[in-house]
Structure 1
Amino acid sequence: MGIDAMSQTQIQLDFNGRKITLVGTAHVSKESVEEVTETIKNIQPDCVAVELDEKRADSIKNPSRYSQLDLVKVLKKKQGFLLLANIMLSSYQRRMGLNAGVKPGDEMIAAMNAAEENNIRCTLVDRPIQITLKRAWGKNSFWGKCKLLATLISSAFSKEEVDPEEIEKLKQRNEMDSMMDELSDYMPVIKKVLIDERDQYLASKIWESEGNNIVAVLGAGHLPGVQAYLEKLGAGQASSNVAELEVLPKPGIFGKILAVLIPACIIGLIIAGFVYGGVHAGTQILSTWFLWNAIPAAILTAVAFGHPLAILVGFVGAPFTSLCPFIGIGFCTAIVQAIVCKPKVSDMENLQEDVSSLKGFYRNRILRTLLVFILSSLGSTLGTFIGGADIIGILQNLK
């Protein structure tokens, strides 16, 4: 196997006559668009591999995709948070590209267009974004999830403008190494899922692409990892089977036990109130539980500017859903909000722009529904812990 480092953004690998050229890009770089087009035109490979999955490829080729969004269907599939995370990430990349005069993924579109114009086979080699986000969320600890949420929110509301020259620096190895080290220190699980796992996935799919002369277009941050794994594949030291990287993490046994144990304990405490304190104490405990769940859920639904019917559902439903491990109040309030305040075409068209401001969240019906989902869930969770502690205090006073 031979290695020819063509430039800081390109690496050419030779595996006994089979050539693979890695082209590293910045996803909002005008220069990357031009470089990708010229590279494919000059090399005339057998196959062009791009760092996209089918859904992302469709989304960047079809900017109006959100006009076909079925919000109720998304909520029923329990994908509300994933949708919001996706929108925030897309919005952040979109803002980064404004000063550079390009849209996120333009270099990938350029690669696909160049392949089509030159009658070259094109293959998508990235892992589906939904699997990546679910693995990133599922593998994280509670503290890791909090940091991930904080990072997403800060990036969504950030007003920082990025100079085109700074974007180009992202393709340089030293700049990229520094960023990867920082990410690894701050969120090691996220770095493993978003970078390390995808390096292996991308390399495996590139290796399995048809042809003896392949050009692979991928983000510059993946260049070192993909190169290293391709070299292992070429030496027979690794497998290109990626089935394990497509498996969604199962909820931990502790989380499953906790989801059942907390409601069971609350029910037990309510029953204990009736047994040891009679009807009066039992009724007091029952009403305490109801109000501690109902009021925070209703208040935070109102803070999200939820429809009055959604607020009512939050108030009445939270005490009951808190005792059921299979359904949360956020799902109930969000479904009601989505049905009674159906998103308009303008909401879907302005989604990525509105997600970058608090005012936009309240103005956009899709984002407001997701806000209702998150805040009502938070209210019920707070009520569960505070209400549980209050009930314990009441029972201690009965002794």
Structure 2
Amino acid sequence: MTATPVDVLDGQPIARVRRGDVDYVLLGTAHVSRVSADAVRAILERESFDAVAVELCESRFQSMRDPEAFRKLDLFQVIRQGKVGLIAANLALSAFQRRLAEQFGIEPGAEMKAAIDGADARHLPIWLVDREIGITLKRAYRSVGFVDRLSIVGGLGASLLTREEVSEDEIEKLKQGDLLGSMFNEFARESPPLYDALIGERDRYMTARLREKSQDGSAQRVLVVIGAGHLAGIERELAAQMDVPRPLIERLSTTPPASRWPKWFAIGVFVLIAAAIGYAFTQGTAKGTDALVTWIVFTGGFAALGAIAAAAHPLSVIAAFIAAPLKPFRPGIPASAISAGVEAWLRRPRVADFDTLRDDVAHWTGWWKNRIARTLLNFMFVTLGTLIGEYAAGFRIIKNLF
């Protein structure tokens, strides 16, 4: 007896919503399932659409379209503009995706690529409806308190350093969830502000983008390929959202201002240390000199240790040691930027570094082998070393005075 072929669309999360003159067919996909990619192909073959919307932002779309996009990365510009953290976060997401790819034998974003290829083959417009990942991460980071921010950094760090396979429990959550939400695991679900930034806000943003793209009346039927974790939210928002799309999109695209208290706290600490050094000189030249030397040795020493930990060039280590104690005389130019700039100049990235960057960062040891990744590490480690050195120096100076 011949077995009946299984319909690839059976059991797939699909929702159909009509709003105004537009029919939206929402297809929920899993990031770890070949079936999702097959489902995308199947629904495009069986039904006719006027447009295909995908859960991608412009930068991720270009990265998918152009695998060599990282060759256009200007490392000096990244350092100068203070975007090291953003690039590192993107690489952390890439590393998490690579882990999934290695474990399940499916390329990251296969379902999105199937949607893009299917739209291209049918000459359909592709709508990019997701918010830029950098904005999402910034809003998530600034939506929570200090302790929760450590959990965000920890979640990104774990994606870079762990080599463990994704557990069965996490796999099931991925099948019904969102890639960004899964990176932060239970913490995202236990922190309402973080969950809203990663999931809720993007549901509202993507819905507003769908409505905005539909306003010209060129599409009556739209296939929307999204992670399964966004299906219910976007279905609900399509039925209920009443805000004018453009102002809502702009509101959800703004980056909340950074909290001022860390900056003022840091300034206060430095003023206290500077005052302590000045007071030490009033107690005698020897005491003042000892306090000044303590400041130089601790700030320069810990910054240099950060560069050494990143396997930086000896001249980059020396640059970190010299620049860190001079912080008061170069506001806005951290020692980490100077050291990383020297590193990038002395060890300019090779073509091979750009070609292998995404694969290298999937393994934590690869961060020290790839010149681009190592320069980013240099920036981050020197930043951390300088911070530790400043507080250690201040504690020792004030302790020796009293």
**Shared fold (TM-score, shorter chain, > 0.5):** yes
Displacement after TM superposition at 1:325 (Å) = 4.9
Q: Give the conservation status (yes or no) of the 8 Å contact 2:163–2:363.
A: no
Correspondence 1:33 to 2:37: yes
- Alignment correspondent of 2:325: 319
Correspondence 1:227 to 2:231: no
CA distance in 2, matches of 1:8, 1:55: 28
- Alignment correspondent of 1:250: 257
The residue identity in structure 1 corresponding to 2:52 is V
Q: Give the conservation status (yes or no) of the 8 Å contact 2:23–2:221.
A: yes
CA distance in 2, matches of 1:251, 1:204: 26
CA distance in 2, matches of 1:40, 1:163: 32
The residue identity in structure 2 corresponding to 1:307 is H
Aligned pair partner of 2:140 in 136, 140, 152 = 136
CA distance in 2, matches of 1:23, 1:246: 25
- 1:58-207 equivalences in 2 (<5 Å): 58-162=62-166, 167=171, 170-172=174-176, 182-207=186-211
Q: Give the conservation status (yes or no) of the 8 Å contact 1:30–1:100.
A: no
- Encode CA deviations 1:103-140: one digit per residue, 9 max, x unaligned: 11222122122122223222111111221122223333
- Encode CA deviations 1:1-27: one digit per residue, 9 max, x unaligned: xxxxx9541111123553111111123
CA distance in 2, matches of 1:28, 1:394: 58
CA distance in 1, matches of 2:184, 2:231: 12
- Alignment correspondent of 2:7: none
Q: Which runs of 5+ in 1 are unaligned?
A: 1-5
Q: Give the conservation status (yes or no) of the 8 Å contact 1:26–1:220.
A: yes
CA distance in 2, matches of 1:307, 1:177: 37
Q: Give the conservation status (yes or no) of the 8 Å contact 1:26–1:168.
A: no
Displacement after TM superposition at 1:324 (Å) = 5.4
Q: 1:33 to 1:218 in 2, by over 3 A?
A: same
Q: Give the conservation status (yes or no) of the 8 Å contact 2:112–2:225.
A: yes
Correspondence 1:54 to 2:58: yes
Q: 1:70 to 1:172 in 2, by over 3 A?
A: closer
TM-align CA RMSD: 2.7
The residue identity in structure 2 corresponding to 1:55 is S
Aligned pair partner of 1:385 in 383, 391, 398 = 391
- Alignment correspondent of 2:363: 357
Displacement after TM superposition at 1:40 (Å) = 2.4
CA distance in 1, matches of 2:131, 2:260: 27
CA distance in 2, matches of 1:264, 1:68: 42
Q: Which runs of 5+ in 2 are unaligned?
A: 1-9
Size of the aligned set, in residue pairs, is 386
The residue identity in structure 2 corresponding to 1:378 is L
- 1:360-379 equivalences in 2 (<5 Å): 360-379=366-385
Q: 1:100 to 1:288 in 2, by over 3 A?
A: closer
Q: Give the conservation status (yes or no) of the 8 Å contact 1:180–1:191.
A: no
- Alignment correspondent of 2:286: 280
Q: Give the conservation status (yes or no) of the 8 Å contact 1:260–1:325.
A: no
Correspondence 1:329 to 2:335: yes
What SS class does the counterpart of residue 209 from structure 1 fall into?
Answer: helix
- Encode CA deviations 1:218-261: one digit per residue, 9 max, x unaligned: 1111112111211212xx4x443221111112121212322432
Q: Give the conservation status (yes or no) of the 8 Å contact 1:314–1:333.
A: yes
Displacement after TM superposition at 1:72 (Å) = 1.3
CA distance in 1, matches of 2:249, 2:141: 19
- Encode CA deviations 1:181-224: one digit per residue, 9 max, x unaligned: 93434544432211111111011111222222211111111112
CA distance in 2, matches of 1:284, 1:107: 63
Displacement after TM superposition at 1:38 (Å) = 1.8
The residue identity in structure 2 corresponding to 1:135 is R
- Alignment correspondent of 1:3: none
Identity among equivalent positions (%) equals 34
CA distance in 2, matches of 1:158, 1:359: 11
Correspondence 1:270 to 2:277: yes
CA distance in 2, matches of 1:370, 1:172: 33
What SS class does the counterpart of residue 53 from structure 2 fall into?
Answer: strand
